[in-house]
Amino acid sequence: MRSLSSTGFAIFGAALVAISYGLARFAFGLFVPQIRDELSLTPDAIGIIGALPLISFLLSTAVAPYATDRLGARYAAVLSGLFGIVGLALISRAADATMLSIGVFACGICTGLMMPALTAGMQALVRRSLHARVSSVMNAGTSIGVIVAVPTVLFMADAWRLAYLSFALLTVIGVCATWLYLPSVSRITPSNAADPPALRELPWSRLVRLTLFSYAMGFISAAYWIFAPDLVVTLGGLSPSATGWLWLAVGIAGLGGAVVADLADRNNPPITQALMLTMLAASLALLAASPAQPVLAAFSALVFGLAYMSLTGLYLMTGIRLLPGRLAMGPVLPFMAVSLGQATGSPVIGALLNVFSYAEGFAIFASIGILVALLSPLYPGHIHQVGDEEVEDPPGLQSAYDLQLQNEAGEPLEDPEYLPGEDPRDEPTAGLEHSHKEERADPRRSSNIAVCPA
């Protein structure tokens, strides 16, 4: 295995996320107009096909922590990449809806396996105090991948098969790099970490509310991810190549989502969620109202990208905080709910577009977004009652990670103490040795953190 610094690992992880999330999953909407015309697909068929990678994402995410624990970070990431190569290649050669469906389903498996594998590698190689920064950079890979897909639409608008073949070749390169740079072991939970709270002690009311809000956001966002490019082509009369500017705006605005989410968590999560959901709904309404205006359409994409990435980041932090000690579930729960919402919303919006116009279908989804935003006071913040005292959890993504591992006194588990300049996890290979030592100390206490940008 080649050595990577913390910065290098963050950039490397962002590149793999760009491939598995940006290209294998979210780029599909960009090519819907061309694919629909060439394969003679109806909107409801596109909606069903668009839900398939979300369903396979859910299934693969459910088994990803176990697979990563058994295979290790390197082999789990390689397996993810192989599914991506197969899926992207099948899409590039799709002659009918069936072959296209198999391809997008395989791409969803690639997406679901990648981030748990990367996070297991991060746990082994990167010191705990840097996890928030590294995770933020890796999560930004989704936006980077969306941006990377833009030139293929601008310059290969009528060659979607060649575009997907180029995505497959990029994934081959990613798999080769994965073999060289990811460790073959998974992160081991320190033996002095306290056991997670019993199931009956979990804040179930808050977890249910978080899950419902995450599901609703995924449901509403499905309309934009799958049908926004098709709307501006069908309703607005723009050329297919012009849709690339939509995804460029989504990607650029999404880069700021991690910062906004962290600031939101430090202030008032329910109010921020209400604001971002309103922005999400407004982006749908604005696009439906002005599909023939490139500037307004691009502005709607900016609003959508910022709102979507901010909300997913906020849900991530809330999930981690509400499930301390459950490393494989806290970050995954809200993103599984978001994907389930998208898997449900995709065929629903497709069916609506078969009955109503694009403008009416998007207006209905925007109205649902406004209604959900009005319920945001129910969103779980991070102030809770303990006896007669109010306790406020420290805000921000790093504090959420710090509170994941606690000692028997309920305090954040500190990194091992070393002499200045002698922390073995300053060097990736030394961190790997540290992981092995912990495994030997208590091999039964192994787990992975699976962080998934949606």
- Domain edges within the chain: 6-384
Q: What is the DSSP string of 255-301?
A: HTHHHHHHHHHHS-HHHHHHHHHHHHHHHHHHHHH-TT-HHHHHHHH
H or E segment to which residue 383 belongs: strand 383-386
Percent of the chain whose pLDDT exceeds 70:
75
DSSP labels, 432-450:
HHHHHHHHHH-TT-B----
The DSSP result for 139-197, as a single string, is HTHHHHHHHHHHHHHHH-TT-HHHHHHHHHHHHHHHHHHHHHHS-SS--B--TTSPPPP
d(CA 46, CA 30): 12
Q: Residue 214: pLDDT above 60?
A: yes
Alpha-carbon gap, residue 141 to 245, rounded angstroms: 18
6-384 has which fold?
A: Growth Hormone; Chain: A; (1.20.1250)
- pLDDT attached to residue 417: 41
List all residues 6 or more positions away from 411 whose beta carbon is below 8 Å from its beta carbon: none
**Confidence tier at 280 by pLDDT (50, 70, 90):** very high
Rounded to an integer, the average pLDDT of 155-168 is: 84
pLDDT tens digit sequence for 347-382: 999 899 888 888 899 999 999 999 999 999 998 875
Q: With bands split at pLDDT 50, 70 and 90, how would you rate the model's confidence at 279?
A: very high
User: pLDDT tens-digit profile of 413-426?
Assistant: 665 543 333 344 44
User: Facing residues of 183 across strands?
Assistant: none
Beta bridge partners of 384: 391
